[in-house]
Structure 1
Amino acid sequence: MEGLFGLAELEDPASDRLPGTRLQRLEIYNWGTFNSVVWQLEVGGRNALLTGDIGSGKSTLVDAVTTLLLPTQRISYNKAAGAETRERDLRSYVLGHYKSERNETTGASRPVALRDAGDYSVILGVFGNADYDSTVTLAQVFWTKDTARQPERFFVAADGDLSVAADFSGFGSDIATLRRRLRDRGITPVNGFPEYGREFRRRLGVESEQALDLFLQTVSMKAVDNLNDFVRQHMLEPFDVSRHLKDLVAHFDDLTRAHTAVLRARAQLELLVPLVADLDAYATLQQTWPS
């Protein structure tokens, strides 16, 4: 996953070449407290530094990128801000929870949302690889039928440079209309992350899911207590050790039997050499006898 987010390697300031597949632009619409308009982060494949006060939306943007690349059930939202509990989830981002209100009668608190079931949300990332002159857009569209439940969504992995304003707006609130419009343009939305994940990994050249696991771990990494454990758990591909050990032992047994056979054959040859020499000498003697 060389340079996928423009953060994996140091850039050469003397060169305009940016190797690997890199994030060019991030767009969000109705995601977290980024409300009502399309917000864009142009990075152009370069390294990017997000700064701002607490609550300004830094982790919200990071969680948008993470959501584009990993299934929601594996994401601990707001970890980039050091949150230890699941204070945010996909539903809170789609509805735009921004504060809690306390009921003076019951004493219970409930979140206050910027949006309701009539709204929809989009996160979109455009990735480019200059070496292959390729551009890929990943997008997810969210909507809620019931604000008490997790949102519905569909996924898009398409070649080319798409945008929220041009490709994911102007359809009212009928998601079926948006789906049809995308299909008419040759873009096929999918409902499940596994199919979407296979499609975008193929397009981005990510050969292993382990690379995305490593990205997930480094998003919120504050410190590494044990480097060996980190490499074993997040960088090395898992494999069946017991099966490999059995194959290794079986191979060693085959080599041992072959070596034993060679030693036995060598000993037999050593025993036969004097006999052959005697037979050669006897044959020569017979030829010299007078008939």
Structure 2
Amino acid sequence: MLENELDLDIHHTGYRLSHFQLFNWGTFSDYIVNLDLAGENTLLTGANGSGKTTLVDGLLTLLVPREYRAYNLSGGQDGKEGRSEESYVLGAYSTTKSEHDYSVNKEYLRDKSCHSIILGQFDNANTEYPLTLLQIRYFNQNGVLQRYFILCEGALDLQAMTERDVAFDATPGWKKRMQAAFSSYKLFFFDTFKAYSIEFASRVGFRDREKALRIFSQTVGMKDLSNLNEFIRTRMLSEMDIESEFKKTLVNFETLMGTKNSLKKKKNRFCNSGQLNRKRTNSSNSIPSWSV
């Protein structure tokens, strides 16, 4: 049943994913996968092997840095099966075992002359324009995976890039052609995920970018919510080294106690010194004067 049929009067705030596109990602090969989400809650269904986890991992790749990202968590494999950015770009679809040395070899849909694109458009009813995130992966002449990270102030999509004759190529002039084709938009190119992520996070209002993205990555892999306490403890709370924190607290406590004891000793010395001076004054006043 749809939300509007239930008449829930739901008002969405903040940035919400409205469009999501993939090209040459996983087994989606040589065509654009387009999801029009309209910023609404979305249920993704499909048979085993239909590509649900591939789509989710694409969204993770768009938003989450590699150190917090584990592929295939939503498939219940705890990040196993050896999925990686490179295997997704090349379209790994099968593994075979050698009869001679029993080694495992992957089979791919594409070779290293390909490129892969992930795009997400985020709309906000309270802003003048949507934000579009775009990531491009390709291999250089040495076969090493390269990455472009792009943020666009405007509604960008892969069909528009093709129509304006700026489909991606690895030539040095592609960025300039891209900027010229979408001159009414502001395009920002980044060489690192960190710089791209910081810019995106500042625009959507993350207070703690790393914590927010880490929690998002963890909740994607959630398969069971039978124990809410355990879910919050393991998925939402930041990891903390309790022993180290306790040792730091103990050192600070001992330092404060040492300072307190030192001040107490100085205070006692000061008080004793004052009493001694008063005794000396009293003694000098009690000495009789002799007149000759």
- The TM-score, its normalising length taken from structure 2, stands at 0.71
Alpha carbons of structure 1 residues 236 and 100: separation in structure 2 relative to 1, 3 Å: closer
**Residue segments in structure 1 that go unaligned for 5+ positions in a row:** 1-10, 258-291
Aligned to 2:157: 163
Aligned to 2:178: 182
Aligned to 1:128: 123
Of the three residues 22, 25, 31, the one matched with 1:37 is 31
| Larger CA deviation: 91-100 vs 176-185 | 176-185
Distance 2:251 2:46 in 1: 55
Cα distance, 1:198 vs structure 2: 0.5
Alpha carbons of structure 1 residues 109 and 146: separation in structure 2 relative to 1, 3 Å: farther
SS at structure 2 position matched to 1:81: coil
Structure 2 counterpart of 1:114, one-letter code: L
Structure 2 counterpart of 1:191, one-letter code: D
- Are 1:211 and 2:212 counterparts? yes
Distance 1:43 1:161 in 2: 14
Work out whether residues 98 and 113 of structure 1, in 8 Å CA contact, stay in contact via their aligned partners in 2: yes
Distance 1:193 1:105 in 2: 41
Distance 1:245 1:182 in 2: 58
Equivalent pairs, count: 244
Cα distance, 1:76 vs structure 2: 1.1
Work out whether residues 72 and 90 of structure 1, in 8 Å CA contact, stay in contact via their aligned partners in 2: no
Structure 1 counterpart of 2:131, one-letter code: V
Work out whether residues 78 and 87 of structure 1, in 8 Å CA contact, stay in contact via their aligned partners in 2: no
In the TM superposition, what are the counterparts of 1:1-291 in structure 2 within 5 Å?
13-15=7-9, 17-84=11-78, 85-145=80-140, 151-167=145-161, 170-171=166-167, 173-184=169-180, 185=183, 186-208=186-208, 209-223=210-224, 227-228=228-229, 230-231=231-232, 234-236=235-237
- The TM-score, its normalising length taken from structure 1, stands at 0.71
Work out whether residues 144 and 151 of structure 1, in 8 Å CA contact, stay in contact via their aligned partners in 2: yes
Aligned to 2:283: none
Structure 2 counterpart of 1:187, one-letter code: L
Alpha carbons of structure 1 residues 228 and 52: separation in structure 2 relative to 1, 3 Å: closer
Alpha carbons of structure 1 residues 210 and 37: separation in structure 2 relative to 1, 3 Å: same
| Larger CA deviation: 83-92 vs 54-63 | 83-92
Alpha carbons of structure 1 residues 221 and 136: separation in structure 2 relative to 1, 3 Å: same
Distance 1:241 1:34 in 2: 47
Distance 1:182 1:68 in 2: 20
**Residue segments in structure 2 that go unaligned for 5+ positions in a row:** 264-292
Cα distance, 1:233 vs structure 2: 5.8
Alpha carbons of structure 1 residues 175 and 67: separation in structure 2 relative to 1, 3 Å: farther
Work out whether residues 30 and 36 of structure 1, in 8 Å CA contact, stay in contact via their aligned partners in 2: yes
| Larger CA deviation: 81-90 vs 240-249 | 240-249
RMSD: 3.4
SS at structure 1 position matched to 2:88: helix
Cα distance, 1:159 vs structure 2: 1.1
Work out whether residues 91 and 150 of structure 1, in 8 Å CA contact, stay in contact via their aligned partners in 2: no
Work out whether residues 100 and 111 of structure 1, in 8 Å CA contact, stay in contact via their aligned partners in 2: yes
Structure 2 counterpart of 1:80, one-letter code: S
Structure 1 counterpart of 2:198, one-letter code: R
Cα distance, 1:196 vs structure 2: 0.5
